[in-house]
Structure 1
């Protein structure tokens, strides 16, 4: 019965082939007939036209007087023409009708075949593809659950379980191979399921029951892997590779007994990944590669974060991450190099992720080991050597497009660049990202590869975020370090300089007109990038030095700690020189004034940027207000400390406690002068002249008030905040009135009036409450005289002021 059925199937196949050939021959015959008919129609047309012209010539006579022949010819001619047209129409009708009939017949056949096709396609997909995949998945799960149940209830002996499992896998494999000729897709699903079962059984036999030795277990797994590779390539089906190889990743976790045999797990994963590597030499199945890549590194990272122990896993972890890195590196390159295909952005990202995960894990493993932390620099250099070997092979053999060569050669440069800093300190992450950013930008811009340039902007952002994290970690380096570290000459500052140099190089390339930006010269995003990169350079430069100043004073504060049990002074316990905090705040603001003043000076002399002019003016104004609000307060605290001589037994309170104010005044004066120079430019002057003059007079009055209080405190006067300030403000208001009238500037006179109003409010609300009679008299008389003078000036120059207002 089986042989007859087989013959019937063969005959049906032969009939189908003949029918297809018949349909093909019939369509060819139809086309030939149509072509012949067309040629015949054209010939008939030409003959008819020729006869008609001949007959028409016969009907024409030279004499209009002979009427009889003309009538005869007129009677004869129409029938000939009519017959000719009739014949033409009959021929056309017959040929067109035949063509229409054939066309309608073809449409009928097509429509008949198409009507059930959509339904058949859906049914075919469900019946031939979806159901068998679901079925094999359920089968494998069923085998797993059945095995687990038999294990938990001890229904059969371990040896019997393993033998039955192998028999089930071999039977399913044999049945799948037998069906390959007729049902290839179905056969592929069965074969892949059989491979997964064989992996499952082998792992169980070794890991749970110890029925086979380790060597034999891995030999069997290697055999299954080789068979999976051959089957996947032979069937040309990713499903075999997915179920047979990547699906095998789940087995150790489904059957784990918590024994923690990491070496076995990683060896198992390595075998699977090597199988995928072999496949990649023939096929470029992206989903397969992505799945394996993601699962492997995810398992390793989770294990490292939760279960890694330096004493127990150091050598094992280092060995297997190297195997995984090399395997995926080769898998990534294999197919692309053989086919000489170009690399897209997803390929670049995968290569970089593979390199960075390997380096990051390797660095973490080594840095936690007592001996390994001395080898971090060597490990970094080894990464450079690996990439160098690959780049040399690619270059000499000309195995790929130049973009890949540039990328890998750039990785060599990156790892060589950071080898020394990595050996010295842990700022390697920032250095790595920064070096990678300039490498990608250089390749993208100079070699005109937009994808590299766009990717470099992402890496720049990551490098900047990493640098911010380093700023947070730098406090530990200074504040809590037992060793004295040199400011400026330390690894943190070198990192900042490196990042500044990287962004400076990117800025230089960005301004080179020989190279076209990835987003185009007139694109808004290119304009933003052109602004953002120099802004980052300025910001990082400012923060780098500011952080050094801040951390230096923090360290000085920590080093000032002393212990005392002095009964005579009642100072017990630990003490610190908290005046250092005031010095720290003052010097940070002094540095800020100097930094932004230098920036403004460079812009005036060399850069000459409108946007930078406004930015520098804003920053200098901000720092001036920072000085007025914060520095002057800290300066007053130092004066109080100097006058009280608190803890002077332990910390000398010298003249610099009161002299530092004049150093700060010099920096403020320089900043105000550069603000003045900046607003004198043509495109700024009319907009900011008034705001600058207001800022100038506010700063002068504020500093003058501080200086008055300073010297009155030194002179031990008790009226500095009342008597002295009120008179000073009144005098300054008078000066503003005089200056406003002289320079014809109304806003100065308004400022004077506002200042006088504040002074009077202060006088009545605060001053007179605690002043004695003499002081009250002096204040009232002084302010009254000043008001009279101001009133006199207004009256004397009222015409000038009126004319100024009219103008």
Structure 2
């Protein structure tokens, strides 16, 4: 295929110059008012038909060089037809959008079928040149951008399809470059108002971006290139061009941040696609994942900027990033990705413990509902990460005993978060509803119940660590009740609280005794560390590796 263009690239250049001269003639006659629009449109259609007929005649001839001459003639005819459509629908606005759609579709389907059937590469190249040069040269006075959009959509769909099916790379590259050039020319020519997501220039930029993203990845998949090579490079170029134009069109920095986040999520999804269908092309995967991760981080950096809720939004984002990273670590079986995700979770949890006291409550309803509000979701998300990792995460670089330790640390972090959740929600409830009951007493009861839950978790998972943590919490609650709660004025509610604390302590004693009885009745070998496979908790559950 390269030999074809080594022999005929000058032929193509000369043909495009001839097409440009015809387009210029169209524009000149219009500027000078030499002919009426219907006459010029009629001449254009007839001239295109004449060139196409001559080209078809030469194409059927068996003389040397007749085939390429036939392709040139037919290509000239197609270029003249495209020029006529561009003039009638975009420049002079004589045809409405539906007429342009019908005529353009007929022309494009005809030459595409012919080119596919006979392998007429030069025909498609000359026709594409005429189709895209015409709107560039004949810039209209009035805004006919929607008609131009339909025009370009048909051209790009047809030429990209033929390019992929026949592996004619030059068609997709030319269509991509000239379409974005045309976007720039028409934006500068008309200077439309932007600043909003749904403004006209932003809508068309999004349409072009999504079309070429899909088209280039389809081409890469169809050609079985393992998501590497020119298609992927042009797809990245498409993303960069779209980002530049979005920065120009969108006036709000917050809108741009959201756009970067969306692009980041999109490229992370593409990274998963490349990993699944790209064979062993790790370079393409890491390139997509790095680009997506960087875009997502840049986009999320200023999410909620200017709002008092920004810390909450930030924790939402980083918890989601940690979760996605952990899923990615599972899928790729990469311990370092799991480790980075865990570090992000720890830093996010520490930050939220520090910042939560100054962040306004995000009420979902008209009133504050405990455990059903924006702040509660943050706590629940952080806790869920810890508990899920405790049950599922296992590192391949270490042994079973250390994996059990990691499991306990994940669960311990999750339990600390649950403690924070209970504390904050109880405090917010008292502040919101101005309850007459003592908040300090309510916290004592809540923490005591939590100590009981820690003992239950330790008994269930057969992990002594949580018995110790539960004991520490119970000691703290006891000291608080004796030194602080009892120093206040005696009330009947305080009596009920102390009764509740006593009952909870008895419950802990019962759980603890049941636990000890099971340990004592177990076989002698149970005195040694139990194998991870026997544990029903995180230490026992193997992940997918």
Q: Which has the larger radius of gyration?
A: 1
TM-score normalised over the length of structure 1: 0.35
Higher relative contact order (CA 8 A, sep 6+): 2
